[in-house]
Amino acid sequence: MDFRPDSFLAIVPAYNEAGSVAGVVESLRVEAPEFDVVVIDDGSTDDTAARAAAAGAAVIRLPFNLGIGGAVQAGFLYAQAHGYDYAAQVDGDGQHEPAELASLVEAMRADPSIDVVCGSRFVAPGGGYRAPLSRRTGIQLFALALSAISRQRVTDPTSGFRLYNRRAIRLFAGDYPHDYPEVEAVLLLHAHRLRMIEVPVEMHHRNSGRSSITKSRSLYYMVKVSLALLVGLLRRRVVVERADPVPVTAPRRGVG
């Protein structure tokens, strides 16, 4: 038997986050020392990559901006190529608190049937997170829809603060939604019969940079995600076994 300890990877997507990425990497090293850190520089035009590397993270520099989905997927590919047991997404803007990773890991270890642990802002009643009413309403709508579809309680489907096991890493390395991936990913997990649970977390407001979801884009966000959910529901999925690979538009053959 091999008693190698579990390996953990923190995937930090960052697009023009030079002001906060070093802080995130350093706080990961202090608060979650068991995690290796890979920063995905999503085609930044500032010195995000240099600051992340100086802070001691492995840095993957995408040649141009792929958007959050493509960036995080690059992280999953990295995790898969390096054989990590668990990978967590921790945003480069300082919104996610590295110290909270411990509770995600704890929840993951408590039940081996769980593939993804999601940090939720809303699972605890009266959580401290304050978002504009319109945004909370949107999140609520998707939460209701996903809860109904997956017959599990989903309260925060837009949270990117998640811990994934090997099965989930393999699934998402092969097929991860592009634009606004979090909501659709929950549906994908359900379709592949992977289990996700939520644990309560606190989230900060962004340290610097701007959210990818501006006011003008929020309508597009709602429409795009709704369409993705609808199409995702109607897509025929030949899933024989848990986490079996599915055909995607551009199929990959292994990772080099």
Partner 1 sequence: MPAGIIFAVVVFALVFEMVRRRRLGERYAILWLAAALALVVLASWGGLLASISHAVGIKTPSNAFFVIAFTFLLLLVLHFSSVASRLADETRVLAQRLALLEQRLRAQEPVNGSEDEDEDLITVAASSRSSRTASRRPRG
Does 142 interact with partner 1 (rule: CB under 8 A)? Answer: no
Q: Which of 77, 104, 186, 199 binds partner 1 (CB under 8 A)?
A: 77
Task: Judge residue 136's burial from the number of C-beta atoms within 10 Å of its C-beta, 0-12 exposed, 13-18 middle, 19 or more buried.
Answer: middle
Q: Give me the count of residues in the chain.
A: 256
Dihedral sign of CA atoms 40, 175, 187, 169 in order: negative
Quick one: 13 or 119, whose CB is closer to partner 1? 13
Does 231 interact with partner 1 (rule: CB under 8 A)? Answer: no
Does 209 interact with partner 1 (rule: CB under 8 A)? Answer: no
Does 249 interact with partner 1 (rule: CB under 8 A)? Answer: yes
- Dihedral of CA atoms 118, 122, 126, 128 in degrees, nearest 10, equals 70
Does 89 interact with partner 1 (rule: CB under 8 A)? Answer: no
The residue range among 137-145, 148-156, 191-199, 247-255 that interacts with partner 1, by the rule CB under 8 A, is: 247-255
The residue range among 53-61, 134-142, 152-160, 229-237 that interacts with partner 1, by the rule CB under 8 A, is: 53-61
Amino acid identity of residue 83, one-letter, is G
Does 246 interact with partner 1 (rule: CB under 8 A)? Answer: no
The residue range among 17-25, 76-84, 111-119, 153-161 that interacts with partner 1, by the rule CB under 8 A, is: 76-84
Does 64 interact with partner 1 (rule: CB under 8 A)? Answer: yes
Distances (CA, A) of 154 to 53, 196, 212: 36, 9, 23
Does 102 interact with partner 1 (rule: CB under 8 A)? Answer: no
Residue that has been written with the tokens 């290796």 in this structure: 36
Q: Which of 70, 83, 149, 162 binds partner 1 (CB under 8 A)?
A: 70
Residue that has been written with the tokens 């990773």 in this structure: 101
Contact string 145-184 vs partner 1 (x = CB under 8 A):
---------------------------------x------
Rounded to whole angstroms, the Cα distance separating 200 from 176 reads 24
Q: Which of 5, 63, 125, 247 binds partner 1 (CB under 8 A)?
A: 63
Q: Which of 81, 144, 219, 227 binds partner 1 (CB under 8 A)?
A: 81
Q: How many residues bind partner 1 (CB under 8 A)?
A: 24
Amino acid identity of residue 220, one-letter, is Y
Percentages helix, strand, coil for the chain (3-state, rounded to 5) are 40, 15, 45
Strands (E), 18-133: 35-41, 58-61, 86-89, 116-120
Rounded to whole angstroms, the Cα distance separating 181 from 179 reads 6
Count other C-beta atoms under 10 Å from residue 126's C-beta: 5
* Site residues for partner 1 per CB under 8 A: 40, 50, 53, 58-64, 66, 70, 73-74, 77-78, 81, 178, 248-250, 252, 255-256
